[in-house]
Amino acid sequence: MINSLLTKETPISSGDIFFEILSKKGLKEMHEYSIKKELYEFFEFEPFREISDTEKYIEKLSERMDTGKSIYWFVRLKSNNNLIGTASLSMVDFKRKSTEQGYALDPDYWGKGYIFEIQDSIKDYVFNKLGFNRLYGITMMKNEKTISAALASGFKKEAIVKDYYFKNGKYIDGWSYYMLASEYFNNNFTSKRLGAVIQIDDIVKVFSEVFEDKGIDKNLIMKNYDKWDSVMHINIILEISKKFNIELTPQEITKASSIQEIFDIIMNK
């Protein structure tokens, strides 16, 4: 059976997503995005074709949950209940207070900031609810989106794991990353004083330059702008930090999903 600590509470999001325990109730919805080839670029297995493939996969994950060392969730939108992906904790070690995170997102929802909501919710669950000390993950070296999202969420690179994956007859290196509870709870991040008063139009200007888009205005939201994906999020944060001589905490970086939010974060420094 699933360890009761893992199911006592699901991860909580302050954004537009919520979590529910994975089950066959979501089979048809999960299959709809599980047949999309772009989802599998950095997976070792091939895209599902038949709904029976997706069903077998859910059964496989359910068996893992029965060991008490893994938990899998569906991720849904609060606004319309749409299933947009899955999230998980595996290799759950209650003695060492350590676990590995994972997630998969419907390609139709890439670049809209949901990955940051998922990671923020998992971090809160692992460090606050479970009281764990270490959260980590691993992905393929060329998975730029996941690596950028991890760094933007405050994770640190741990190592290059040689020949970790095997796909299409080739070994592929893994990129591992981690976060410790002490880092998650440490709010003593230093920030330098702003040299001048900043207006929201100054933030708009940075965005316009980075995205080379003069049509951007102060109402821009990450979810509504396709160019603003996890990779560009890092570029924006770096440019904001350089331009205004400040440092943003991992929590602030995760929440910086609109121009107004970034402006408010800077003003609170």
Q: Which element (helix H / strand E) includes 184?
A: helix 181-185
Gyration radius of the chain over CA positions: 19
Task: Give, to the nearest 10 degrees, the angle between helix 200-211 and helix 230-244.
Answer: 130
The token pair that represents 190 in the structure block: 């230093």
Question: What burial class does residue 86 get, using C-beta atoms within 10 Å of its C-beta: 0-12 exposed, 13-18 middle, 19+ buried?
Answer: buried
pLDDT in tens, the chain (269 residues): 456 667 778 999 878 899 999 999 999 999 999 999 999 999 999 999 999 999 999 999 999 999 889 999 999 999 999 999 999 999 999 999 999 999 999 999 987 888 888 998 999 999 999 999 999 999 999 998 899 888 888 899 999 999 999 999 999 999 999 999 999 988 533 333 344 468 899 999 999 999 999 999 999 999 899 999 888 998 899 898 888 888 888 778 888 999 999 998 888 76
Closest by Cα among 219, 222, 224 to 237 = 222
**Shortest CA distance to 27 belongs to which of 62, 1, 64?**
62
Which helix (H) or strand (E) segment is 83 a member of?
strand 83-93
> What pTM does this model have?
0.77
